[in-house]
Amino acid sequence: MRPPFVITVDGPAASGKGTVASGLAAVYGLPMLDSGLLYRAVGVLAQRAGLDLDDAAAAAGIAQGLTVGQLTDPAFRTRAAGEAASRVAVHPAVRLALRELQLSFARRPGGAVLDGRDQGTVICPEAPAKLYVSASPEVRATRRWKQLAAQGEAVTYDEILADIVRRDERDGSRADSPMRPAPDAVLLDTSEMTIEQAADAARRIVEAARARWEAS
């Protein structure tokens, strides 16, 4: 029996993956999971509880208690939350605690769009459509800087570029579920693309995967 039609969209910070993923979810009428939000929530809630982000067991305790209903807090969208997320995301115990929630989403019979760093490699390697969205660090820093400025955060472009480079390094070098493309992911470099162009390119890639899936 063929697997549900799951689309995984992985890639580094501010690569455009969130926009691409939500565009695909709308086109195919699929529910979407922003897995980064889970790690952001764990990071922020751990900090609010006064915990040390390097304490794997403490952060895992927060992850175990996390429910989807808690994910709407705008504090999870801040620059600091991204950094806290990346720090707690290195702990295997945190990743394990968040695994079941992600798996149950990936196994929805009607399919889903999964956005993150390890969705195509670890959470749903059997997904029929996999994208790895990237862009140069400078382009990503510009995008993230505009986004955070619109949210009212006072931060410079250079600070954001440094954040992005540090987070790429941490996410890419951790032992558990490092950020990397699945062997069968299609790479989409959005450096020179507008939002519309990236969304169109992603849709063409997924159309081809969907045709193969329908024929399987």
User: Residues in the site for ligand CDP, rule: CB under 6 A?
Assistant: 13-14, 18, 35-37, 39-40, 82, 85-86, 89, 116-119, 167, 171
Min dist. Cβ of residue 27 to ligand CDP (A): 21
Q: Nearest-CB residue to ligand CDP?
A: 36
Min dist. Cβ of residue 209 to ligand CDP (A): 20
Min dist. Cβ of residue 39 to ligand CDP (A): 4
Q: Hey, is 70 helix, strand or coil?
A: helix
Residue 123 · residue 99 · CB < 8 Å: yes
Rank residues 118 and 131 by Cβ distance to ligand CDP and give the closer one.
Answer: 118
DSSP alpha helices (H): ranges in the chain? Answer: 17-28, 35-48, 56-65, 79-88, 92-106, 137-150, 157-173, 195-215
Across the strands, what pairs with 129? 7
Residue 114 · residue 102 · CB < 8 Å: yes
Min dist. Cβ of residue 133 to ligand CDP (A): 10
Rank residues 54 and 212 by Cβ distance to ligand CDP and give the closer one.
Answer: 54
